[in-house]
Amino acid sequence: MKEKFYRYIQELQDRITSKIEEIDGKAKFQEDIWKRKEGGGGRTRVIENGAVFEKGGVNISAVYGPLAPAMQQYFKVGDVDFFACGLSLVLHPKNPMVPTVHANWRYFEMYDKDGTVIDQWFGGGQDLTPYYLFEEDARHFHRVSKKACTPHGFSLYTEYKQKCDEYFWNAHRDEARGIGGLFFDYLKADSHMKIEDWYDFVTDVGNSFLEAYVPIVEKRKNLPYSQENRTWQEIRRGRYVEFNLVHDKGTLFGLKTNGRIESILMSLPPHVQWVYDHHPEPGSQEEKLLKVLENPVDWV
């Protein structure tokens, strides 16, 4: 399974980066092959200062070795080994009318000292963070996500949409990071689903990503915008940064377990503002977005 999923994310990385370069038309991804001294490594691809994308990263990694003490405590296990691989991406467009997008699909195995697999699971998801709310875009993103889920279980979209709304919640601000999508973790074999079934589910979600995001980018990338729109985008990006550094489990564990810092912080946008006690104008499009972020919406 680990070889099978790693081959999948290698191919998916190629597919996504090729399409993003095509849409941008100016910038190309810079590739960085790196090794982890404890075992494994990855292939980081970053795009910057493009015509459409101000900054973005589409990274894959496969790492292995002894499980770090912090992770042993988290998983409530003893001295075990692990293997983890995944694709993680964040794209920050230049135009404030185009939403930021984040996605991640990953696989994890744990072994005893004899090398026997003692646990294995999939995790991941995809979510959208707009700066200006176009409801048809939100409906499209969720509709495509639901379409990917439904063949594998009628209730999966509803369950993982709710988990996404709960997870990407900036508790200290009492608002959502964005308009959600899917979030799932610890997808393990049980009486209903074999691990191969979960592989099929996760890869169907991964395959849906470009269909969910690209039409939105194409529709919004040439819309006019003002400096005021740009300022609002940078203020909202600050909330994105706050979530990643305060609440995001992947970021926190990467920092605690000697992860590769450039890959971990790849998700942070290049231009951000923190304006003291900022409130948008009553009745404005900016306030409209905040109202939606206060209470998750059922988009489909």
Domain ranges of the chain: 2-294
pLDDT at 5 over 90: yes
Which structure tokens are listed for 66? 């002894």
* pTM over the 0.85 mark: yes
pLDDT at 43: 96
pLDDT at 292 over 90: yes
pLDDT at 254: 77
pLDDT in tens, 204-218: 999 999 999 999 999
Which range among 116-120, 228-232, 269-273 has the greatest average pLDDT?
228-232
Q: Looking at the annotation, which residues are catalytic?
A: 102
List phi, psi (to 5°) of 268: -85, 130
pLDDT at 279 over 90: yes
Instruction: Mention every residue, 6+ apart, whose C-beta is less than 8 A from residue 32.
Output: 43, 44, 45, 46, 262
Angle formed at CA 135 by CA 104 and CA 103, multiple of 5 degrees: 5
Return the DSSP state at 68.
P
For the segment(s) 2-294, the CATH number from 3.40.1500.10, 3.40.50.720, 3.90.1150.10, 3.30.70.560 is 3.40.1500.10
